[in-house]
Amino acid sequence: MQQAELQAQRIRAAMWFLLPMIAALAFVAAYPLLRSIYFSFTDTTLTSLYTGQWVGFDNYLNWRTLPSGRTIYRGTLVDPAWWNAVWNTVRFAFVSVSIEAILGLMVALVLNANFHGRGLVRAAILIPWAIPTIVSAKMWAWMLNDQFGIVNDMLFNIGLISEKIAWTANVDTAMWAVLMVDIWKTTPFMALLCLAGLQMIPRDVYEASKIDGVHPIKVFFKITLPLVKPALMVAIIFRMLDALRIFDLVYVLTPNSAATKTMSVISRENLIEFDKFAYGSAQSTLLFLMIALFVTLYIWLGKVDLSGDKQ
Amino acid sequence: MKALKSAAFYLLVAFIVFIAVFPFYYAIITSFKTGTALFQIDYWPTTFSLDNYRDVFNQGGFFRNILNSVLIASVTVCLSLLLAVTASYALARVRFRGRGLLLMTILAVSMFPQIAVLSGLFEMVRFIGIYNTPWALILSYTIFTLPFTVWVLTTFMRDLPIEIEEAAIIDGATPWQIITKVFMPLMWPALVTTGLLAFIGAWNEFLFALTFTSSTETRTVPVAIGMLSGASQYETPWGIIMAASVLVTVPIVILVLVFQRKIVAGLTAGGVKG
């Protein structure tokens, strides 16, 4: 009886402990999110924040039939610039996360081996992670400069290119420039998460397969990969969510380039710069829905346990 | 064969280190170059001049920008840790209905796109009257620092042995006393790590800082560096940009290297354990 009383007291205390945090999150996250979604159904502008009228789905899609009988469709869902941004974002997310997963796993395998100077290498790969995104964007913008950039110089000296490339300005290479910087910056994060997963694999599993004379490549695909998969999956979903909302790198490295403009960039552009506040809100709401759908699918399909409760 | 193999391995290691470190190294040697030397491609340091560093501060406002960043990141982290300590105790140590759901929601908030709250926050910031002040950024940064600190501290507290808490309960300690007298002394390392990671997150943030500030004096460092540009792309002051970049990156890199082990542990705590 006394134990039940103690438990009840603990739960009451827990509620009081949680309350400030929940209130803070409701204030800074839940309320603004709901307001943003609300704005997407109004005709609010930056100058008339409080007098916007409800317009239903007009920012998403609306049509009007002209007297001539022609129907005109308007709204985000028929805006080619928006679909271009969606395609850029999805393409960026899939390519960057796939390459980062492969490279990250490779780096993690290297770091998991026993060799002299391992601590030094781990310290070195932390550097890209520690550098602020804006700073790395600027650093790489300089290295990728068409006339004076060292990347062109290196590629030219090796003989890979015959003329200098305007990496960030050229529509064909702008996305590659963004990918390059993102991969450089976030592979360390992937590698560290994979490394933590690798270190949880008991050593005797490897010893047993060594005694049995199993080929190292088979060991990797039959033992290492399945055992590191949970850690890798979590790393991939974290990175994926991060990649889908990318803003700063694109904004600074390739300003105003249609070849790289992502959903976050185009939403902010409409919201603040073009004074299409409600229209931008509709776009940010669509991005939110897309990410929410992605997470739901991922958890449902992959049966990933993110709650952290021990099985 | 074996020698060849290990040579290849060390070559790979050297390549990884080269790729990781080179851009930063190149930014440093560029920051020491001025005038025409800037536009000669050198792989090794050739000239040494501190002119760019002097110019960064002469541009006006950069010192102020650094102060802004330090102030905003510190206040955000302290507030988040304050709220997170008690919350993570409740989430890690007390069994109650809906705990899993609450944890999932917290993780979801830290992961959702910041642009999704931008217009709502913009209205709120304008309404409260804190547009273009540090408070706008402190308020908005809480969106990602608070869930993150709660999440990491929760995973940390869950790993502490149950016995210490049981002993305290038997001695008649209230939950509040358990947190302050039993857990806090054990949690200092975790608080420092989590605080540092949240600090780096707030220090690097760009979207909110760009949107909620409008004058040079209120900008944070990332926005200031992002805005350091000439009229056209041919006038970009690369030497000054690199000097500013090095200035704001060196302290962070030193911190990260000093706290290396703890940071790796903190980063992986959220993801892998559990």
For residue A88, the domain's CATH number is 1.10.3720.10
Is the C-alpha dihedral spanning B43, B45, B47, B49 positive or negative? positive
Is A182 a domain residue?
A: yes
The pLDDT, as a whole number, for residue A294 is 85
CA distance A185 to chain B (A): 9
Q: Which of A178, A185, A179 is nearest to A127 (CA)?
A: A185
In a domain, A55, yes or no: no
**Residue A49 resides in a domain:** no
ipTM above 0.85, yes or no: yes
Kindly state the tokens that stand for B143: 């969106």
> pLDDT per residue over B52-65, tens digit each?
888 888 877 889 99
| CA Rg value for chain B | 23
Nearest CA in chain B to A277: B119
- Class of B60-269 in CATH: mainly alpha
Q: Cβ separation of B116 and A129 shorter than 8 Å?
A: no
Torsion angle of C-alpha atoms B237, B241, B243, B244, degrees rounded to 10: 140
B209 to chain A: nearest residue by CA?
A: A248
Q: Is A2 among the domain residues?
A: no
Looking up tokens 């400069």 gives: A145
Which residues in chain B touch residue A290, judged by CB atoms under 8 angstroms apart?
none
Enclosing domain of residue A204: 76-302
Over residues A281-286, the mean pLDDT reads 94
Q: Which residues contact A297 (CB under 8 A, 6 or more apart)?
A: none
Q: Are the C-beta atoms of residues A265 and A250 closer than 8 Å to each other?
A: yes
Q: Tokens 């960039």 belong to which residue?
A: A265
CB-based contact (8 Å) between A305 and chain B? yes
Give a yes or no: residue A219 inside a domain.
yes
Helix (H, G, I), strand (E, B), or coil: what is residue B226? helix
Please check the confidence at residue B212 and state whether its pLDDT lies above 80: yes
Q: Residue A124: its chain B contacts at CB < 8 A?
A: 16-17, 20-21
Segment A255-270 shows an average pLDDT of 92
pLDDT for A238: 84
If contacts are CB pairs under 8 Å, which of residues 127-156 in chain B contact chain A? 127, 139-140, 142-143, 146-147, 150, 154-155
Q: So what's the pLDDT on residue A309?
A: 44
Span(s) in chain B for CATH 1.10.3720.10: 60-269
Question: What is the pLDDT confidence band of residue A21, given thresholds at 50, 70 and 90?
Answer: very high
Distance, CA of B25 to CA of B44 (rounded, Å): 10
Q: Which of B40, B127, B272 to mutate to test the interface with A (most CBs of A within 10 A)?
A: B272
- B87 and B150 in contact (C-beta within 8 Å)? yes
Q: CB of B244 within 8 A of CB of B224? A: yes
Does the distance separating the beta carbons of A247 and B271 come in below 8 Å?
no
Please state which of the ranges A163-167, A213-217, A236-240, B266-270 shows the lowest mean pLDDT.
B266-270
Residue A64's H or E segment, with its range, is strand A62-65
CA angle B165, B171, B176 (to 5 degrees): 60
Contact A218, B177 (CB under 8 A): no
Contacts of residue A239, Cβ cutoff 8 Å, sequence gap at least 6: A96, A97, A100, A101, A186, A189, A190
**pLDDT, tens only, A83-141:** 999 999 999 999 999 999 999 999 999 998 888 888 888 889 989 998 999 999 999 99
Give the span between the Cα atoms of A209 and A216, in whole angstroms: 9
Q: Reply yes or no on whether the pLDDT at B224 is more than 50.
A: yes
Q: List chain A residues with CB under 8 Å of B89.
A: 14, 17
Predicted pLDDT at A304:
56
Give the angle B114-B115-B121 at the CA atoms, nearest 5°: 80
Residue A54: inside a domain: no
Give the integer Cα–Cα distance in Å for A243 and A285: 17
Number of domains in chain A: 1
Q: Do B10 and A115 touch (CB under 8 A)?
A: yes
Is the C-alpha dihedral spanning B104, B107, B109, B115 positive or negative? negative
